[in-house]
Structures are given as structure tokens and as C-alpha cells.
């Protein structure tokens, strides 16, 4: 969907937008289901990158202490507990610039993935940059989805991060797709961007072929010690508008109401569910910051007549549309120059 369509959709009167998003949601999804996902930081802090929002960057003095990669048995204990609590997706995050085949840390991650994938949950990892070989090995080990966010527009990205580029992000996403993993790709609201940046980011995501399987919408958790610690809070209606527009632009993606839920009222969360959010991080911790407690979330789902989504046994990645060039397109790369995306 192009920018002008997204702009028109986003800026219509609030209730018209909600009605449109709700109709798209009902056409594409069982309307009462919400997927529960558990996050675990398997390698925390000490990251070389300078993402201005992140508690785990070694460039900033935050309260997060660097830790080494967790032992497999400890990860398995958390994964079993997540499954017992009703989560159908287990997402493991590592604070790295990226991973390389042949390193001990990558072998350890593959070993963890092989074991977690025996539990019957969707297995998602977010490990930073991947090349083609890394992506193929992760897929073979049992990863079903790779999370790599665009976070904001290409134009705004350089004010948020300087140690890697937007094209680096797109390249990793392409490697994950080519290896047959589902792509989980979303963004953060509250990085000092404008609505235009949010919609430009969505334009890029909606140009992916295949579409992302899931789109996490995070709002900034302001982290003391980072350059964004004092950023202005995101307005609730802007968040709901963004969720609704995402639901319309990428109808078959799970739209995940992600970081920032801790400071949302019950009413705001209800609006976000109505607008098309159908997945959440479940459990009282995200990677390093707070999330609503599981009991509180279950109570809210019950109050709203929503139910946790059953496990998805196929876990297949979305199929590409044969009429369009495969993407994401990385404009700097010659082999994609004829794709028509730019």
C-alpha cells in the first residue's frame, strides 16, 4: 500500500478508521483470538550498537548489566513455563550486532533453538544482523520466525542509530525470508518521529513480498541514561490509529501490541484490540523492562470476551505473491534495481 493511501486511511475520522480496521480484521482473523507470546532475553546488555532507545547498548550508562548467553537448560526451563502458561510463541532476544556461522555463540544458539523447537511452540529469535548462511542454519535448527524491526522511516533512522543502516536491516530481513522463515517486523512509536515517518515505515513493510507474518507495534519505554530518556510520551489515539492502519495495510499479519503496554490503561488496550491487535507479549517482563502481569492480562481478556489463540501447528511462513517482485528490496543493491519498488 503506498504512502498516499496510508495517509488517507490514517487521517480519516477516528471511528471511521476503527470501523474499517475492524471489518478487515473480521475478514481475516477469528475475531476473539489473541496470541500470547513469551519473550526471553537470552543474552542481555553489552551491545556494540548505538540504538538511541535501547537499554542494552554499551554506549549508554543504563541500569542494565551485561550478561553472557544463557545456558540451554535455563532457557528450556523458561520455555516450558511459557508453554504451561498458554503461550504459543517463544521469542528469544540477544543484544548483539549480529551473528556469524562458525562462532561458538552461534553454535550455542542453534543448540538452544533445536531443543526449544521440540516443545511445539512457534520459535522466534531476534539476534541482529544475519547473512544467508546464518538464516538457513537457524531455519534448519527450527526457528519459525525472525524478528528484525525497521523501527521507523528510512529518513528518521539515522537520527536513531548510526552503527548500522536501514539497508542493513532490509538485507537481514531478505535473508530471513529467503531461508523460509516468517518475518516479524515492526517499529517503535516515540523516537521523535512524525506521523509521516510512521506511515513511511508502514509503506516499506507493506511492500515486502511476502508480507511480514507479524508486525510488533512498540511504544518507547523511556530508558534512563539513553538519549531518548526524556522523549515525549506517545498519544494513545496515535497508537490506536497506527494499529488500525497496520491492520488495514497488512491484513494477514498478526499485529502485536508490544512494548509500552505497561503504561496503557485497560480502555486503551481494549481500543487497540478492537482496532486489530491480535497478539501480545505475555508475562511480567519484556527483555529488560516491565510488562503487565499475566493475571492482569488474563483478567482483561476475560472482561473483553477475548480468548488465547490455540497453537498453530503448521507455522508456515507466508507465501509470496507471484505477481510481484520478491522483496524486501534493498535499493542500494544492483540485483534489485529492476524490482519497481523505487
Within residues 47-106, the interface with ligand DTB by CB under 6 A covers 55, 91, 93
Q: Which of the stretches 204-212, 216-224, 262-270, 297-305 binds ligand SAM when contact is defined by CB under 6 A?
A: 216-224
Residue closer to ligand SAM (CB basis): 179 or 223:
223
* Residue 54 in contact with ligand SF4, rule: CB under 6 A: yes
Which of ligand SAM, ligand DTB, ligand SF4, none sits in contact with 57, Cβ below 5 to 8 A by type?
A: ligand SF4
* Residue 190 in contact with ligand SF4, rule: CB under 6 A: no
Q: 3-state secondary structure string, 270-308?
A: HHHHHCCCCEEECCCECCCCECCCHHHHHHHHHHHCCEE
Nearest to 96 by CA among 126, 116, 121, 123: 126
Q: Which residues contact 189 (CB under 8 A, 6 or more apart)?
A: 198, 217, 218, 219, 220, 234, 238, 239, 242, 260
Which residues does the annotation mark as catalytic?
Answer: 47, 51, 54, 91, 124, 184, 256
* Residue 292 in contact with ligand SAM, rule: CB under 6 A: no
Q: Which of the stretches 6-14, 77-85, 215-223, 330-338 binds ligand SAM when contact is defined by CB under 6 A?
A: 215-223
* Residue 309 in contact with ligand SAM, rule: CB under 6 A: no
Query: Rounded to whole angstroms, how far apart are CA atoms 156 and 151?
Result: 10
Total number of residues binding ligand SAM (CB under 6 A)?
18
Q: How far is the CB of 11 from ligand DTB (least distance, A)?
A: 25
* Residue 149 in contact with ligand DTB, rule: CB under 6 A: yes
Residue tagged 509470496 (cell numbers):
320
Residue closer to ligand DTB (CB basis): 238 or 289:
289
Nearest to 234 by CA among 216, 217, 220: 220
DSSP sequence for 188-238: EE-SS--HHHHHHHHHHHHT-SSPPSEEEEEE----TTSTTTTPPPPPHHH
Residues 20, 35, 87, 126: which binds ligand SAM (CB under 6 A)? 126
Query: Rounded to whole angstroms, how far apart are CA atoms 257 and 249?
Result: 16
Cell of 60: 549508554
Residue closer to ligand SAM (CB basis): 82 or 339:
82
* Residue 218 in contact with ligand SAM, rule: CB under 6 A: yes
Positions that interact with ligand SAM (CB under 6 A): 53-55, 93, 95-96, 126, 128, 148-149, 151, 188, 218, 220-221, 223, 259, 287
Amino acid at each position: 500500500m503506498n504512502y498516499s493511501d496510508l495517509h488517507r486511511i490514517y487521517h480519516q475520522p477516528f471511528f471511521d478508521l476503527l470501523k474499517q480496521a475492524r471489518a478487515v480484521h473480521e475478514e481475516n482473523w477469528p475475531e476473539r483470538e489473541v496470541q500470547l507470546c513469551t519473550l526471553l532475553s537470552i543474552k542481555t546488555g553489552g551491545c556494540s550498537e548505538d540504538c538511541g532507545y535501547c537499554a542494552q547498548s554499551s554506549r549508554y550508562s543504563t541500569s542494565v548489566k551485561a550478561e553472557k548467553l544463557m545456558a540451554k537448560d535455563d532457557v528450556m526451563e523458561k520455555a516450558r513455563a511459557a508453554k504451561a502458561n498458554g503461550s504459543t510463541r517463544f521469542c528469544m532476544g540477544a543484544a548483539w550486532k549480529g551473528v556469524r556461522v562458525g562462532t561458538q555463540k552461534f553454535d550455542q544458539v542453534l543448540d538452544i533453538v533445536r531443543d526449544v523447537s521440540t516443545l511445539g511452540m512457534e520459535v522466534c529469535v531476534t539476534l541482529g544482523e544475519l547473512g544467508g548462511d546464518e538464516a538457513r542454519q537457524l531455519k534448519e535448527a527450527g526457528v519459525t520466525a525472525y524478528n528484525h524491526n525497521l523501527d521507523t522511516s528510512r529518513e528518521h533512522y539515522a537520527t536513531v542509530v548510526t552503527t548500522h543502516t536501514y539497508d542493513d536491516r532490509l538485507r537481514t530481513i531478505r535473508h530471513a525470508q529467503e531461508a523460509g522463515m516468517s518475518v516479524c517486523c515492526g517499529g517503535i512509536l516515540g523516537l521523535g518521529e512524525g506521523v509521516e515517518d510512521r506511515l513511511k515505515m508502514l509503506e516499506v513493510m507493506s511492500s515486502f513480498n511476502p508480507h511480514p507474518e507479524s508486525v510488533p507495534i512498540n511504544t518507547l519505554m523511556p530508558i534512563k541514561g539513553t538519549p531518548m530518556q526524556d522523549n515525549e510520551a506517545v498519544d494513545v489515539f496515535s497508537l490506536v490509529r497506527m494499529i488500525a492502519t497496520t491492520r488495514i495495510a497488512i491484513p494477514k499479519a498478526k499485529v502485536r501490541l508490544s512494548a509500552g503496554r505497561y503504561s496503557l490503561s485497560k480502555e486503551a488496550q481494549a481500543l487497540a484490540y478492537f482496532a486489530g491487535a491480535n497478539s501480545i507479549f505475555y508475562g511480567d517482563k519484556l527483555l529488560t523492562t516491565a510488562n503487565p502481569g499475566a493475571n492482569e492480562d488474563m483478567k482483561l481478556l476475560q472482561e473483553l470476551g477475548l480468548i488465547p489463540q490455540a497453537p498453530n501447528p503448521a507455522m508456515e511462513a507466508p507465501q509470496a505473491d507471484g505477481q510481484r517482485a520478491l522483496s524486501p528490496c534493498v535499493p542500494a543493491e544492483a540485483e534489485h534495481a529492476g524490482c519497481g519498488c523505487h
